[in-house]
Amino acid sequence: MEESILALNSLSLVERADTYEAEVEDEWDTDIEVEEKSVVKDMSTAEVYLQACKLIGVVPVSYFLRNLGCVTINLNHHGLGPLGGKALAIALVTDTHTTTLGLADNFLLAEGARYIVQMLKANFTIQNLDLSDNHLQSAGAEHVTKMLLENVSIKSIRLSGNEFLEDDAKWFAEAFTTNYRVKELDLSNNKFCGRAGEYFGQMLANNEGVEVLNLSWNHLRMKGAVAFCAGLKVNVFLKHLDLSWNGFGNEGALALGEALKFNNTLVYLDLSNNRINDEGVGMLCRGLETNDTLRTLKLAYNSLTVEGALALISVIKNSLKTALEEINICNVLVNEIFIQLLELTCQEHIGLEVHYGGVGGFLAKKPPKRRDPMKVIQDYLDQRKLRLWDFFRNIDKDGTMHVPVSEFRKAVQA
């Protein structure tokens, strides 16, 4: 097969051969397309990049030129913009060295993302891609997920902070129903809400590849959280799940507890900052009692007291199946009862690490319920077989129809 080079449809990096017959029909190839062997077949990647920058009108990134040929190229925070991404995409089409490409925080927008995913139609070397914080929004989500439907090389993709909305989750659910090559997916710090939880639940139920999933700093809660957990319940591939800074609450904790009864692959679960209180932890513990794979559980910065902490340690102490090795409740103040129980538990589970906030907590007790004053008087009268009129007449010896509080108290306590 003859060597191919890529050029822009809208820019002429080379003089095209007269025998070039037809435009590529695929929509991905409208800006970057394959040409037959040309007179510039020996152009280096650096030369192609410099020529592309010149024709597009952007300043070349010297860091990129210096690191050509490296396995990892980190171009995070370089301010490339969409056109800078376009020049970069042209240069990387035929690159066979770089496996990790960092493009976070470059204001690529959806346009720049389109150039990058077009490049990935021809480049099968890049395996790890970071497109975080690029304002891709919904249009960018569509470009990326269409690429994931076909790409066979990407194993890790980071898309944090791109302003994706809840209905954009549908694109990811569809892509990961068939894509089983991506092992790590980061969708943190977006705007996924209720319906997104339903889509991600479907994704987990059908996906057979993702092992690390980061959905932290979103808005998954209530029905969305419950639907997500339904997918987690039947998933058999996911090992590392970060759900911190969402809003699972007790409703989500109950659903997670149910999922953990059946899920036997998850080893890491981060539920920090999810509005879970002691009651929610109790619900979660029902799943922990029978789960034999989870090793790390993070519950920091929830509304837990020492009661919730005791419930967690009790599960480990009393369960023969548990695999828990680390619990993080670093903001929870505990007491001596907790310390004693933890010491006993660690004698049987030597490798157990529990991060707590220090000693000084107390068991939360409900305040004693105050008796109804009228019920107190009625009981007093019943015991002495008195009528209310007789009771007050005995106190009001002067017949003034006024009873001092002190005299009333003495009469009741007599």
pLDDT at position 362 is 54
Q: What class has domain 58-356?
A: alpha beta
Q: What is the DSSP string of 89-112?
A: HHHHTT--S--EEE--SS--HHHH
With contact defined as beta carbons under 8 Å apart, do 247 and 301 qualify? no
The partner residues of 129 in beta bridges, in order of sequence, read: 101, 157
Residue 233 banded pLDDT, cuts 50, 70, 90: very high
Instruction: Delimit the domains of the chain by residue range.
Output: 58-356, 373-413
At residue 85, the pLDDT reads 98
The C-alpha atoms of residue 56 and residue 54 are separated, in whole angstroms, by 6
pTM above 0.75, yes or no: yes
Q: Is the Cβ–Cβ distance between 87 and 116 less than 8 Å? A: no
Report the C-alpha gap between 391 and 378 in whole angstroms.
11
Strands 32-35 and 5-8: antiparallel
Distances from the Cα of 48 to the Cα of 42, 55, 74, 82, 95, angstroms: 10, 11, 19, 18, 11
Chain centre distance of CA 330 = 20
Tokens for 342, please give them: 């933890």
d(CA 218, CA 89): 30
> In the prediction, which pLDDT does 379 show?
74
CB atoms within 10 A of CB 284: 28
Helical ranges in 319-362 per DSSP H? 336-348
Measured from the Cβ of residue 124, the count of other Cβ atoms closer than 10 Å reads 12
Could you tell me how far CA 201 lies from the centroid of its own chain? 13
- Summarised one tens digit per residue, pLDDT across range 328-376 is 999 999 999 999 999 999 999 999 999 999 887 554 444 456 667 777 7
Residue 287 Cα distances to 102, 227, 233, 254, 305, angstroms: 39, 17, 11, 9, 20
The fraction of the chain above a pLDDT of 70, given in percent, is 82
